[in-house]
């Protein structure tokens, strides 16, 4: 007999929370130090409602338009929306008022445009700087080598508040290289912290997805973005 959707999502969520807590413990931390952002690109609003009812209020969309649509349909002020994918500059104005965190600030040009739009809206926008840690050619983000000087540039935009770094492990990566990618992001963060421009913080490390979040947490992730592990088996 098939379980109802509600039970499966709630089960998947509690299973994930348990795995997150275990990985956090292995890195000498508690589950409170790791935020789960549910990547909702695979599902519609009815399943998202079940997820919210099960206790997950941080939702991430990789496409701005999808975020606009779903946030309008759900119209739920308790949701914290995260933009986790590439933001095109012509979509900034509509996206900024909806999101609690942009994980994917991936170029100086984009960050400058966010700053300008935020000034018009009279808001300050929390962002993570996306780093292309694996060097994959098709990935967005700053190179690790340019980060130190870029942070100085980014710090001039007072409507953009840098909270940390975001990255994905390399696509071709095996287990060891995935761990190495995550460790590199943490090491880059620690190195940048030694000479951080005033007013910036690099407390957040957004790294880890369904297939590698436990490794990411062991290497210091404070935010994991998880989709398929949360929704798998649902609706079968």
The CB-of-225 to ligand PLP minimum distance in angstroms stands at 4
Number of residues lying near ligand PLP (CB under 6 A)? 13
Q: How many C-beta neighbours within 10 Å does residue 76 have?
A: 14
The single residue among 27, 80, 161, 210 that binds ligand PLP, judged by CB under 6 A, is 210
The CB-of-125 to ligand PLP minimum distance in angstroms stands at 18
Residue with tokens 């939702």: 59
CA separation for the pair 216, 236 (Å, rounded): 29
Angle 225-86-217 from CA coordinates, rounded to 5°: 25
Residues 53-112 close enough to bind ligand PLP by CB under 6 A? 62, 84-85
Site string for ligand PLP, 217-236 (x = CB under 6 A): --------xxxxx-------
CA separation for the pair 34, 6 (Å, rounded): 24
Q: Does 39 bind ligand PLP (CB under 6 A)?
A: yes
**Residue with Cβ nearer ligand PLP (157 or 205):** 205
Distances in Å between the Cα of 43 and the Cα atoms of 49, 77, 234 are 10, 20, 10
Reduced to 3 states, what is the DSSP secondary structure of residue 68?
A: helix
The answer to whether the CB of 127 falls within 8 A of the CB of 111 is: yes
Reduced to 3 states, what is the DSSP secondary structure of residue 118?
A: helix
**Residue with Cβ nearer ligand PLP (10 or 16):** 16
Residues 119-178 close enough to bind ligand PLP by CB under 6 A? none
The single residue among 17, 29, 41, 140 that binds ligand PLP, judged by CB under 6 A, is 41
DSSP 88: -
Cross-strand partners of 206:
166, 223
The answer to whether the CB of 27 falls within 8 A of the CB of 218 is: yes
The CB-of-46 to ligand PLP minimum distance in angstroms stands at 19
**Residue with Cβ nearer ligand PLP (109 or 171):** 171
**Residue with Cβ nearer ligand PLP (197 or 211):** 211
List of residues contacting ligand PLP (CB under 6 A): 39, 41, 62, 84-85, 209-211, 225-229
């Amino acid at each position: 007999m098939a379980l109802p959707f509600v039970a499966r999502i709630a089960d998947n969520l509690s299973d994930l929370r348990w795995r997150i807590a275990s990985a956090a413990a292995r890195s000498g931390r508690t589950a409170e130090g790791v935020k789960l952002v549910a990547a909702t690109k695979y599902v519609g609003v009815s399943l998202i409602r079940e997820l919210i009812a099960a206790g997950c209020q941080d939702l991430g969309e990789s496409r701005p338009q999808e975020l606009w649509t779903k946030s309008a349909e759900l119209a739920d002020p308790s949701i914290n929306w995260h933009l986790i994918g590439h933001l095109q500059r012509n979509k900034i104005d509509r996206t900024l008022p909806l999101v609690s965190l942009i994980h994917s600030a991936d170029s100086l040009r984009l960050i400058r445009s966010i700053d300008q739009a935020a000034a018009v809206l009279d808001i300050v926008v929390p962002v993570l700087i996306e780093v292309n840690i694996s060097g994959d050619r098709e990935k967005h983000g700053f190179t690790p080598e340019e980060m130190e000087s870029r942070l100085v540039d980014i710090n001039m935009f007072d409507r953009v508040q840098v909270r940390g770094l975001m990255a994905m492990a390399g696509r071709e990566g095996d287990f060891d290289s995935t761990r190495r990618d995550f460790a590199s992001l943490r090491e880059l963060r620690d190195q940048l912290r030694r000479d951080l421009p005033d007013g910036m913080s690099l407390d957040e490390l957004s790294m880890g997805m369904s297939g590698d979040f436990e490794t990411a947490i062991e290497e210091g992730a404070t935010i994991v973005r998880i989709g398929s592990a949360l929704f798998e088996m649902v609706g079968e």
